[in-house]
């Protein structure tokens, strides 16, 4: 994972030391109860603007340090629950900037179903099956 980011269809509707709620629809939200303080700090870095080495550097020097292995495990767990995607996949999608803008809502929709190996760009190009 190069540029991890929370999927754009998600909203973080509650954020505290007691719980983090991803999503707002009843019965669909993902809730993390009593999240580790390192996860609370990590959430701010998962915006797609920070690459993995930069995130690792910041988290290894933070008040709640993470090792490379622990960071990879956390990211993989978030991916497996459908919360995080790699925005670097956008570059490999073969879609022009105009097409990315034109199909933006479709890509957000397909990201709800995309797993780590099949991304929304493959669904849009009908090659994710």
Residue 1, pLDDT > 70, answer yes
* pLDDT per position as a tens digit, 18-55: 999 888 677 778 888 999 889 989 999 999 999 999 99
Better pLDDT: 16 or 118 = 16
What pairs with residue 19 in β-bridges?
A: 33
What are the residue ranges spanned by the domains of the chain?
A: 4-124
* pLDDT per position as a tens digit, 66-75: 999 999 999 9
The Cα 13–Cα 51 span in angstroms is 25
The Cα 129–Cα 122 span in angstroms is 8
List the CATH code of the domain at 4-124: 3.90.930.60
């Amino acid at each position: 994972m190069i540029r991890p980011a929370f999927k754009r269809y998600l909203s973080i509707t509650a954020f505290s030391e007691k719980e983090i709620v991803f999503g707002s629809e009843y019965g669909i939200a993902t809730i993390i109860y009593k999240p580790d303080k390192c996860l609370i700090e990590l959430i701010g870095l998962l915006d797609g603007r920070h690459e993995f080495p930069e995130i690792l550097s910041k988290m290894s020097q933070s008040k709640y340090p993470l090792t490379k292995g622990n960071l990879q495990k956390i990211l993989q767990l978030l991916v497996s629950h459908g919360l995080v995607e790699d925005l670097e996949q956008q570059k490999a999608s073969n879609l022009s900037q105009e097409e990315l803008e034109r199909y933006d809502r479709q890509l957000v929709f397909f990201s709800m179903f995309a797993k780590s190996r099949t991304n929304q760009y493959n669904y849009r190009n009908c090659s994710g099956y």
